Amino acid sequence: MNPPIKDWQGRTVWLVGASSGIGRALASALHARGARVVLSARQAQALQDFVAQHPGSLALPLDASDPDQVRHAAQTLLQAGPIDLVCYLAGYYQPMRASDFDLAQALRHQEVNLSGAWYVLDALLPALLARRAGHISLVSSVAGFRGLPKSLAYGPTKAALINLAETLYLDLHPQGLGVSLINPGFVATPMTAQNDFTMPALITPEQAAAAILQGWAAGDFHIHFPKRFTRLMQLLRLLPYRWYFALVRRGTGL
């Protein structure tokens, strides 16, 4: 569905949200394969530490929810040459149920998880379309498949990213651009460490990075992992609401 990417030597990859977790593991894996890795996130020191350990990589600290910072970073990169792949990994998660709804927290989820992706598109799409080459990858979550307990703010933003990626593919594939959607299951990161329940099929960030690279190499649109868990979540999308709600309540006790 996409042009396969197997040779990373000399390719410029911009990872937005790469100070820890999947982003940092992916940056390390890409650097090892010869890519010119550019990392962005708010944690400037974490990015600088990565650059010190991975010569040739570049740190561009920014807050993904600030359109001016995103635009400035994109302009800086484009002045140095084309961007071959941009991956939006920035994410924010706080468990929330309707009984403790917090508007400020809900809007923060929207700013980081969704609006930041729009800001990246706004900054890069003209250059990618003019070149008729490049790849856009959005990291969503299986939490965006259907409604889940404690995901009142997080789930809707991830569902929107899934829709966004699907629409982008329809628009951009005929223009020669690659688009991929990444839906992880449970990955051991600082974000998921907040969960107070046993996370099924939990994997490491390094395993997640390997799955992403495998998906890009295969030209996949939908990259999801670990498949023993994500395939089950996809099947749940097909259930009628009556069955789905009953299964979720029984499985979570909520």
The edge-to-edge listing of strands for the beta sheet with 178-184 is 58-59, 36-40, 12-16, 85-88, 135-139, 178-184, 222-225
244 as an active site residue: the answer is no
pLDDT of residue 140: 98
Q: Which residues have CB under 8 Å from 242's CB, separation 6+?
A: none
Q: Which DSSP category does 112 fall into?
A: I
pTM of this structure? 0.95
Q: Could you give the domains of the chain? A: 12-252 (3.40.50.720)
Closest CA to 77 of 95, 50, 63, 57: 57
The three state secondary structure string of 142-174 is: HHHCCCCCCECCHHHHHHHHHHHHHHHHHHHHH
pLDDT of residue 240: 97
What is the dihedral angle through the alpha carbons of 7, 128, 70, 161, rounded to the nearest 10 degrees? -80
Measured from the Cβ of residue 28, the count of other Cβ atoms closer than 10 Å reads 19
State the catalytic residue, choosing from 119, 154, 241, 244: 154
pLDDT of residue 188: 81
Per-residue pLDDT for the chain (254 aa), expressed as one digit of tens each? 999 999 999 999 999 999 999 999 999 999 999 999 999 999 999 999 999 999 999 999 999 999 999 999 999 999 999 999 999 999 999 999 999 999 999 999 999 999 999 999 999 999 999 999 999 999 999 999 999 999 999 999 999 999 999 999 999 999 999 999 999 998 887 777 677 667 778 899 999 999 999 999 999 999 999 999 999 999 999 999 999 999 999 988 87
* C-beta separation of 17 from 86 below 8 A: no
**Alpha carbons 219 and 12: distance in angstroms, whole number:** 18
**Alpha carbons 57 and 13: distance in angstroms, whole number:** 10
Measured from the Cβ of residue 68, the count of other Cβ atoms closer than 10 Å reads 10
pLDDT of residue 99: 96
**Alpha carbons 41 and 196: distance in angstroms, whole number:** 26
As given in the structure block, the two tokens for residue 110 are 């929207």
**Alpha carbons 148 and 250: distance in angstroms, whole number:** 12
Q: Which DSSP category does 110 fall into?
A: I
